[in-house]
Amino acid sequence: MDTRFQPLIVKECIRSVLMDNLAHKEYSSETMAEDTKVLVELIRKKIKDLAYDRYKIIVQVHIGEYRGQGIKIASRKFWDADTDNFAVDVYTNNSLFCVAMVCGVYYY
């Protein structure tokens, strides 16, 4: 098997993208759809650079206005527990919250 999907390394990649791109960002409902797409592509590119050649990389990003509320996000997967894995990171500032998840699904 090629390089295994490593959740801790992937989480650090997610965190660096979120911190670099959201640190000074204010929530705006007009721009968040495009900002979400940009974050997905930046995260996907950073993970692809880790050379997980045999993995399908799936990236989900949720952004919302932060007003002190809580949020629950659930996700289900049907996969091989020996090879497939995921990483999640959460970022908040005074204006917004962002939850980003990356799944690595091994190609047999």
pLDDT, tens digit, for every residue of 14-58? 999 999 999 999 999 999 999 999 999 999 999 999 999 999 999
Q: Is residue 42 part of a domain?
A: yes
Question: What pLDDT does residue 2 have?
Answer: 66
> Does residue 99 sit in helix, strand or coil?
strand
CA dist., res. 80 & res. 107, Å (int): 10
What is the model's pTM? 0.92
CATH code, domain with 42? 3.30.1140.40
Q: Is residue 90 part of a domain?
A: yes
Q: Is residue 55 part of a domain?
A: yes
- Band of residue 91 on the pLDDT scale cut at 50, 70, 90: very high
User: Which residue blocks in the chain are alpha helix, DSSP H?
Assistant: 7-22, 32-48
